[in-house]
Each structure stands twice: as C-alpha cells, then as structure tokens.
Structure 1
Amino acid sequence: MHRTRAAAAGAVTVCLLTAVTACGGGSSTGGGSNDSPKTLTYWASNQGASIEVDKKVLEPELDTFEKQTGIKVKLEVVPWSDLLNRILTATTSGQGPDVLNIGNTWSASLQATGALLPWDAKNFAKIGGKDRFVDSALGSTGAQGQDPAAVPLYSMSYALYYNKEIFADAGISKPPATWTELVADGKKIQAKGTSALGAEGANPSENVHHVFVFARQHGADFFTAAGKPDFTSDNVVAAVKQYVDLMAKDKVIPTGNAEYAQNQSVSDFAKGKTAMLLWQSAAANLKSQGMSEDTYGIAPVPVQSGAPGTGTHVNSMVAGINLAVFKNTDNLDGATKFVKFMTSDAEQKILNTAYSSIPPVKAAQADPAFSTGADKVLKDTLATSAIALPQVADESQFETAVGTAVKDLFADAAAGRAITTSSVKAALEKAQQQMPAK
C-alpha cells in the first residue's frame, strides 16, 4: 500500500457494515460543484518525508494541469494515520473530495461501500485504456470480477536495505537471501555492537504486510478461496510465529522496537543504529534523513530457502497508491481529466521519480531511469515475486485485526513472555473473532 501509513482503526468495521448505497463526495467541500466547474478538490496521501515535501512535489504539477485545462485543483495532503477514517466518513456523509489517493490494499473494502466511481471500459477509455497499466498494479484495484474501484498511481514493493559499512565490519560480503542467513548475519552484526534488523512492532500496517509475505512463503493465506477469514491454519500460525520470533527467539530485532510506530525503524537505519531494514521503496525517505545512496545496498526480501528449494518464492506484497474518484462528484469530466493527467506517461515519470516508486503505467515504467539500482530490484520484485493482499470487502478489518494481534505478540516478546504456537494461535483466533460475521 503506502509508504509509511500507520494503522487506520475504529470506524472501519462500523462504516463498512453500514449500507452505503447513496454515498460519495464532491461538492460539499467546495470541490467540483456545479457553480464551480473549473475547480476540483484532491486528497493526496502523505508520500514524502513530510506534508511540506508532498506540496513541493505536487503543487507545480497541479499548476501545469490548470494551465492545460483551466481547472484549478485544491490540494490537501492527508496523513496516513487519518486517511482511511477521513475517506470512510466522506462515504457516509457525502462530504468529500472529487479525487483522492487510496492505499491499494483498501481498494476492495472501499469498493464495497459503493462510493467510488467504477472504472469500466468506458471510463478507462477516457484515460487511454486499461491496457496502459501493468497487471500487478491492476491486481490491487478491487475485487476480482468487478470493475476496478481506482486506477494505479504509484507502485512500490518491499526490499531489504542493508548498511554496507556495517556488513563489511562484520565480515559479511553479501546480503542474506534466506531468513536463516539473515539470522546468522544478524548475530555477527550484533557481536560488533550494532542492532541487526529494524521493525515497527507497534505499527499494525507494517506488521500485516510482513506476516502476509511470511504466510505466502509458507504456502498459506489469511482467507479461503471463498473469501472467508482463515487466520488459524497451521501454516499461517507458523508464519506469524516466524516473524515475531525474529525478536522473541532469534533476537535480531531489538525488543525496544516492539514500541516503534510510523517511520521509527527508517530513522534508526538512516542513523546507522541498525544494519538492516525491511521497507517499501525507501530511497526518498532515507535521502530526506541525510543517508547517502552509496552507503546502503538493496536486495529482495529473504525467502525460506534458495530457489528452487522449499517454500513459495514471494518477496513482497504489491504495495502502492491508487487514484479514485467519488462517484457523486459534480465535476466528473474534470475529475476524469485529472486522472488522465496524473497517469500520463510524462507525469508518471515525474511523480514516481520524486517518490522513489515505480510507475504502474507500462510506457513510463519502461523508461531506463527505472531499471537501475534500487529501482531495478523493486521493479523486478513487482514483476515476478509480489502478490496482492486479499482483494476482499473485509480487507481493512483484516489489516487492523491481524496487525494488532502481531503488535500484541511483539509486546509479549519484549516483556519476556514466551511466544509459542499456542499463544500465536490464540492471538489469531481473537483477531478472527473481530471480523464481521458472514
């Protein structure tokens, strides 16, 4: 999904269980209303190191759009900690923007509210066609068999970032390719006095992204083929335990990281306090914190064993941002023109370069600029070994429930309480009980 979003909580279950047949956004915030057809409101997600950074990136592009079309865009950059609840409130109140960014993992949940414009063949034709977008990005735009609820804007994937100097000092010549190698390398690093791997144990969103990858590596999923929660299967339990055991048993994640929330693990890595970081498209974030690109390397997220080996070769969830339009906007034509502009080849290169993300538009992604260094690792991961989070209506509740369960398990590990198969299963059973009844 997003670069650094924190958990969106609370209102999700209540809102998504409510029948929202006449919901949407648009005119009530002074956006694309009938008496102001030359104005749009746009909620952008916080992609940069700060909201001010996002404004510096976006405002010149919005000025370009206004010059081309005569349509002024009123921009609000919304923090990830607020974005989902703001959107859900807008779906029920009808007071929202014309166009907005959504984390791609929320696509099916927000699609189920009925608030977002469906991107059918006719609407896709207005922005150049569906086939302009890469398949991996389209896989995170809504439930299978339905018209997408949004259009891909930025694509990201997780990778392993490692400090070259710390690795050299510990006598490590290459990044770990498996979790066994990561643990062994971590112990060598810690013997030299540096923490091995950073994590954000108090950040449910990060937690759920990681345990999803571990589960897929174990050949498991959190939902059945019919879309029902299946959080307590043996392989899911083993996957969650393996992730938490990086702190509890293997001791390569510092216990203090059980309390880390948004961006704290990135800050530690940028300052040289930890040797490794599992993060999505981190280059721009690290640069903003003063870390030079030549001081760290980037590699795919480790897997269970080398290829062909055992386990499934999945390195990341399909992360990214989608661009959506509220269905009841009073300026549908202007909103569509804005989506076309933001997903044009030229803008895709500008915006994804600024955010160290990968364009989900084929022509822009093919630019050689996105095929070197860190971008090559991210692009290859998206193309070959990334899987979309479950595209089910209850996905948002899943993220909150399971992400919080892992948060609680990290807290137990930090407090010295035993992390057992039984305790992990109990935490996941509790999470499953919090899911909406079918």
Structure 2
Amino acid sequence: MRKTLAIGLASSLLLTGVLAGCSSNNNAESPAPEGSPAAGKKVTINVWGMGEEAKSLPQMAELFEQENPDIKVNVQALPWDTAHDKLLTAVASKKGPDVVQMGTTWIPEFANAKALKDLTPYLENFPEIKKENFYDGSIQTGTYEDAYVGVPWYIDTRVLYYRTDILKEIGYNEPPKTWDEMLAVSKKLAERGNNKYGYALDVKEQSLGFMFARQNGAELFDADGKPQFNQPKFVEAVEYMAQFFKDKSAPVDIGMDAVQAFRGDGVAPMFISGPWMINLINDQAPELKDKWATAVLPQGKENNFSSLGGSNLSVFEYTENADAAVKFVSFMSKPETQIKWMELTNSLPAAKTAWEDDKLKSDANYTVIGEQLKTAVPMPLIKPFEEIAQNFLSSFERVYRSNADVQKEMDDFNKKAEEILKK
C-alpha cells in the first residue's frame, strides 16, 4: 500500500477475540434478496476509502450512479492511521461498509477473520473482475487460501530514479542494469567529493531487503512456511545492501528527503521508489525537467523482481447488498474507469488493458513502470509479515550502522521470525 500501516499483534488478538459471539445485523437501506434492488426501491451501499485520494471517490460514485440509478453510493474517506481500528470495530459488530478499500498488506488479517466476501461466485455475472484482467502479482494480493477476496484497484511498484545529466558527467549514458553496475556507478558518483553519494538506499522501506533477496534467488519461506532469512542467498542480498554503506556511496542519515537529495548538484542522484515520486519531482523540482528518468530495477543474480503494492476493493462479508456492492467494484475495475481514477488521483490502474491507453503509453516513465509490473510480486501474504518486516529493519540497522556480522544478525532475525510465526 502506498502508506503502509503496521498491523500490530494487539490488533490481531483483538480481532480474534471479538469475532466470537458476534451476531449479524442489517446495515443496509431497503435490503433486497441477494443484495439486488427490489422493484421500485433504491439500494444504498456504503463505500469506505482510505487516505487523501479517497476524497475523490464521490466523483466516481456519481458516474456509477448515472449508470445505475437504482443504487445510491455513500462514500466515507478514512485517514489511513485510523482506518484499521475502524475496520476492526466493523468486523466485531458486523456493521460497516458494503465495499471497503483494503491495503494489500491488510488482506491476510481480515480475510482470515472471514470478514471479506469470496467473489469467485460472482465472476460469471461480473466479467470485469475476472482474474485474467489483472497482473498476476496484483491478483496474489487479493487471494487468501484460494478465496478471491480483493479485486485489484490501483497498483504501484518500485523502479529506479536517476539523474541522467549527472550520470553522463561521470561517463554513463544509461542507468545501471545489473547489481554490479549499480555498485560501480554509485561508487563513482560518491567520488565526486564530500557529502556526495550515489544511491539513497531507503533504510525505512520494509520491503526493500526482501525485494533484493528475491532478486538474488532467495526463498523467504520454505514449503512448510518456515523462514529462510539466514540462508546463503538471503544473507548475500543483505551483504550487497550493506556494501553501499561500506563504500560510502549510500548515506546513513542524510537529513533530507529523496527529492531534496535529487535536486541541484545531486547529493544522491539515484534512488528506488514508487510511481508517486514522478509527480513529486515534477512539482517540487521543475528545474530538473529533462534531467532525470526512470528505469527498471537492476538485475540481480536471478531476476529483477520488484515489490508490488497498491490497494484492492473488497466486499464486506456482512453486507445485505452483495450484488450492488459487487456491481460497484466491477465498475471501478473497468479500464476506462481506472483511467479516469488515474486522472483524478495519479493512482496507476490495475487492469492490464488500461495500460494501452495513450496517456500511459506516451509517457516514458509510465512505460517503465508498466514494464516493471511484469516482474512485480507482493510481499508474503501472511498475517504477521509486517511485524517480521519491522524486525528485519532493526537487524539491518545494526549491520549498516555498527558493521555487525550479517550472518549472525540474520540468524537472530530468523529465530525472531520463527517466534513471531508461532504466536
């Protein structure tokens, strides 16, 4: 998800506890059998969206209502930092939305609680939500134990941002294409002088280490679900990340954000981030026009896998208006609808055919993102993964700050992950 919200153990325990003994309640206006509008009656569905972009949802709801005059849509925009608790309350009371935006990392928790409706029975009547319409990675985020509980809405992935002018100054007309090239270019950029670096490695990005590990061919969990974070390929990936700090080509506490470091003479002229950075650079650093570009990630020893995030749309299990709710999700899944949503919010479409639109095909940066999406995969869809990921950041911090032994740190981290999985 664009703004990842950690799912704590306390929340998981609360969710488990409150599910027992809850009774069903009717939260819909003018309910009809199977969630369809009864003759002469208008059905109302409640849609919960998250974050700033959800404030644009009423415009999409209005378009939907024009096509479906028998369905009224009430939209509620929730801040990301309160949305998780509000959803817990909705699950406990069985009173809540008909349609809910789900961050991809939230799916396992709420699907495990049986709070999200399996949409498989609706695929024949609503072909817009069929799985083949979306990238494989995004379908993975909405699938839990073979149940299709989240339809991909918008997606993001990580790509390489780089200053074309500064790389040319040190003799590179193209971005680095391999791990070795990434190290070499970063080191040469750092040699420009004091307080100059090559690559701003985001040590707070919890998916980055696992992404590099997958590029190195590492399996994060074995067939029995046991963590493999202390195995050679994973350890080697962490050593690779640490090398940027050893070479002093990546800053530890740079004291500025990625766009600031990107501007001017380029304190850090390369970084890895998501598509939202395109508009941030254009808005905050207009003087860099034609001086920067994006590229697919450098190839690791095995592949150039990127991480996949974004948000899905789910139907609340306890809705009394299931058909109307799925119809809204289906409308939001249409390629033309997703292009309109992109124009409103700059969120990238999950529907594959939407990427054939001229607005995306004519933009070099979005072309790169579309290419990277072909090798983008989500983080493991297990309930405690965010807690595991936060522990990795702590282990890696000891590596890059204190030069701690990588193998020992990963041994300790693997044990901690095992403990978390047993809770």
CA contact (8 A) 2:296 2:372 kept: yes
Matched with 1:154 is 154
The structural deviation recorded for 1:285 is 3.9
Matched with 1:41 is 46
If you compute each CA radius of gyration, which structure gives the higher value, 1 or 2?
2
Letter in 1 for 2:108: A
Residue number among 240, 243, 253 corresponding to 2:241 in the alignment: 243
The structural deviation recorded for 1:344 is 1.7
The Cα RMSD (Å) is: 3.2
CA contact (8 A) 2:228 2:414 kept: no
Aligned length: 406
Distance in 2 between residues matched to 1:301 and 1:88, nearest whole Å? 37
CA contact (8 A) 2:197 2:248 kept: no
CA contact (8 A) 2:138 2:377 kept: no
CA contact (8 A) 1:24 1:91 kept: no
Matched with 1:327 is 317
Matched with 1:436 is 422
Residue number among 267, 276, 283 corresponding to 2:270 in the alignment: 276
Is the aligned partner of 1:397 residue 2:384? yes
Matched with 2:253 is 256
Letter in 2 for 1:139: Q
Is the aligned partner of 1:125 residue 2:115? no
| Aligned ranges 1:194-213 → 2 under 5 Å | 194-201=196-203, 203=204, 206-207=205-206, 209-213=207-211
CA contact (8 A) 1:24 1:328 kept: no
Distance in 2 between residues matched to 1:166 and 1:338, nearest whole Å? 47
CA contact (8 A) 1:195 1:252 kept: yes
Secondary structure of residue in 1 paired with 2:421: coil
After TM superposition, the structure 1 stretch with the greater mean CA deviation from structure 2, 86-95 or 154-163, is 86-95
Distance in 1 between residues matched to 2:367 and 2:310, nearest whole Å? 16
| Aligned ranges 1:39-78 → 2 under 5 Å | 39-46=44-51, 51=52, 54-55=54-55, 57-70=56-69, 71-78=71-78
Matched with 1:308 is none
Q: Structure 2: give runs of 5+ residues left out of the alignment.
A: 32-40
Letter in 2 for 1:198: A
Distance in 2 between residues matched to 1:91 and 1:231, nearest whole Å? 34
CA contact (8 A) 2:161 2:295 kept: yes
Letter in 2 for 1:45: M
CA contact (8 A) 1:237 1:425 kept: no
The structural deviation recorded for 1:124 is 5.5
Distance in 2 between residues matched to 1:225 and 1:24, nearest whole Å? 37
Letter in 1 for 2:138: A
Distance in 2 between residues matched to 1:43 and 1:288, nearest whole Å? 29
Distance in 2 between residues matched to 1:8 and 1:239, nearest whole Å? 26
Identity %: 27
Task: Give the TM-score normalised by the residue count of structure 1.
Answer: 0.80
Letter in 2 for 1:181: E
Letter in 2 for 1:126: F
Distance in 2 between residues matched to 1:339 and 1:327, nearest whole Å? 14
Matched with 1:286 is 281
Distance in 2 between residues matched to 1:198 and 1:25, nearest whole Å? 50
Is the aligned partner of 1:175 residue 2:166? no
